[in-house]
Amino acid sequence: MAFTIGFLLLIIALIVDTDGFIFIIDHANLLFHEAGHIIFGIFGITPGLYGGTLGQLVFPVVTALTFLRQAALVSFSVSMLWLFENFFNIARYMADAREHNLPLVGSGEHDWTRIFTSLGLLTYDTTVANFVRFIGWLGLISTMLFVTYQWNQYRKEHTGKNRDGSHLI
């Protein structure tokens, strides 16, 4: 029930948020983004450039895999929500590659301007951002379907009758 309420609050925040930045969640994600630049920067300039976005994705993936190994499926699902919520923040950053309207941390260089320019995709920044946003929605919905399926399986396994004929659930 708590997961469903949290999921619905996240969906509402994503729908009503006009600037694509959910204050508490995305400030935390910004920390992982900046840490990613430092961590991946050890391996060179290019990994450091991609490291911000990788940091936003690697930390939730590691958390999700840890919970999955422990068979903590609700915690795994919360980590997956965290992962896919990041896609909206990343898409927001990608879509700004030409406009440069977002406030930047650090040197003021725009990661996605540099990345898209090096790939010859700068004019497609908003197209790629829309695709990433779509993947975010797909991931969120898939996570909710996974939780619903797991809950239904649990309910089927634990629904029955006691020895006295009364129902367990």
Q: Report pLDDT digits (tens) over 55-105.
A: 999 999 999 999 999 999 999 999 999 999 999 999 999 999 999 998 888
Gap between the Cα atoms of 43 and 63, Å rounded: 23
Residues 31-44 have a mean pLDDT of 95
* pLDDT value for 73: 92
pTM of the predicted model as reported, rounded to 2 decimal places: 0.86
Nearest Cα to Cα of residue 64 among 157, 155, 139: 139
Higher pLDDT, 165 or 38: 38
Gap between the Cα atoms of 139 and 82, Å rounded: 10
Average pLDDT, the chain: 90
pLDDT above 60: residue 163: no
pLDDT above 60: residue 124: yes
pLDDT above 80: residue 151: yes
Higher pLDDT, 18 or 23: 23
What's the pLDDT band for 167 if we cut at 50, 70, 90? low
pLDDT above 80: residue 106: no
Q: Percent of the chain beyond pLDDT 90?
A: 68
